[in-house]
Amino acid sequence: MHRIIAIIAATALATTTAAAATTTFKFESSDAAGSQVYEIQKEWTDRIEAASNGRFKIDLLPLDAVVKSSDILTGVRNNVINGAMATSAHYAGEDPGFGLIGDPISAWSSDEDILKFYYLGGGMQVVDEIMSGWGVKLIGISLTGSESFVSKKPIRTIEEFKGVKLRAPTGPVHKLFSAFGAAPVSLPSSEVYTSLDKGVIDAADYSTFASNQKQGVNDIAKFPIYPGFHSSPTVHIIMNLKEWEKIGKNDQVFLQSYFKGLAMDSLIRPHYEDRLAVAQALKKGVQPVAWSDEERAKVRQHAQKIWEEIAAKSEIGKKFLDTLMTFLKAQGQM
């Protein structure tokens, strides 16, 4: 009898221990520690253990902590890291279509459109299908906030970009500024401030208004284009597909639902903080430049040519663009 009781007790203890076991994942962000985007992501990953009642823990590491941003997709696929929070534009070296998926420049009339596209307009399904072909699972998205183009002189039209030496990330954005007649150069974000200060460049496609204000960029480039004239990139939250398949269906639903909260937070917080930063900047003599609707329409015309150019070279780019165009037409935006 005592032996039976001991077996039952041991079984109960084992069951309790198993139920209480925490699954820990190692994720990497494509944003640096201290940046607004990373801090929002870190808040959400730090809270997931409590939100899941101890089921999950995510250790979010900053930019380049384990693998370079260009190698994140390979790192997740090979389970060097279990997951990532990064725009797929970083993976354009694997396939140029990822550049379009990560940043379909000027596609969105507002950041809200990104959430509409992914959660209602078929975006999540098509990008998940694409990602699964690379051995990873798309479990959510988040935003970076609209980038505020900073400049040391007022730029109000596409024509005024001609000859301007500026910093732009590689990929579609770089192509866009080249189409404007500018002279884009690729510089890491860590060199933007000093390059502007020393006159190496006169402008930069760089971060949100609030981040630029915090870092003092607006103090040396006093004519930021705000609101920005091209839309935000999309941060894709991905996991190793085999790791994803190990967890139960209920836990999968939990993670997908949880990261919808991050998506919403990453939408509203940058906009809120930008408004506060604009008020501070105006007091310091910064003069934001707002573009007309007519000029924004011209930007999209240039951008659409780049979308089509990438789609012509990439099967996944075409698949994504077909879904995107269906969404934009349904919204009356094309």
* Rounded CA separation 195/202 (Å): 8
Q: How many CB atoms lie within 10 A of CB 15?
A: 10
Q: How many CB atoms lie within 10 A of CB 191?
A: 14
123 token code pair = 């975006």
Instruction: Say which residues have a Cβ less than 8 Å from residue 112's Cβ, sequence separation at least 6.
Output: 267
Strands lying side by side in the sheet with 83-86: 56-61, 23-29, 83-86, 234-240, 136-143
* Rounded CA separation 307/318 (Å): 9
Q: Kindly give the confidence (pLDDT) of every residue in the chain, 334 residues in length, as a single tens digit, with 9 standing for 90 and above.
A: 444 444 444 443 344 334 559 999 999 999 889 888 999 999 999 999 999 999 999 999 999 999 999 999 999 999 999 999 999 999 999 999 999 999 999 999 889 999 999 999 999 999 999 999 999 999 999 998 877 899 999 999 999 999 999 998 877 888 999 999 999 998 877 789 999 999 999 999 988 899 899 999 999 999 999 887 877 889 999 999 999 999 999 999 999 999 999 999 999 999 999 999 999 999 999 999 999 989 999 999 999 999 999 999 999 999 999 999 999 999 998 7
CB 172 within 8 A of CB 310: yes
The pLDDT score that the predictor gives to residue 65 is: 95
Fold for the domain defined by 149-231+288-330? D-Maltodextrin-Binding Protein; domain 2 (3.40.190)
pTM: predicted TM-score of the whole model, two decimal places:
0.88
CB 97 within 8 A of CB 317: yes
Locus of tokens 């006169």: 202
Q: How many CB atoms lie within 10 A of CB 4?
A: 8
DSSP 185-248: E---GGGHHHHHHTTS-SEEE-S-HHHHHHHTHHHHS---BSS-SSPPPEEEEEEEHHHHHHS-
What single-letter DSSP state applies at residue 88? G
The pLDDT score that the predictor gives to residue 173 is: 87
* Rounded CA separation 256/120 (Å): 14
Paired with 237 in beta bridges are: 85, 140
What single-letter DSSP state applies at residue 21? P
* Rounded CA separation 265/269 (Å): 6
The pLDDT score that the predictor gives to residue 20 is: 55
CB 204 within 8 A of CB 196: yes
End-to-end CA distance of the chain: 77
255 token code pair = 């993670």
CB 254 within 8 A of CB 52: yes
Each domain of the chain, given as residue ranges in start order, spans 23-144+232-274, 149-231+288-330
* pLDDT tens-digit map of 95-142: 999 999 999 999 998 899 999 999 999 999 999 999 999 999 999 999
Instruction: Say which residues have a Cβ less than 8 Å from residue 22's Cβ, sequence separation at least 6.
Output: 49, 54, 55, 56, 57
CATH class of the domain comprising 23-144+232-274: alpha beta
- Identify whether 227 is preceded by a cis peptide bond (ω within 30 of 0): yes
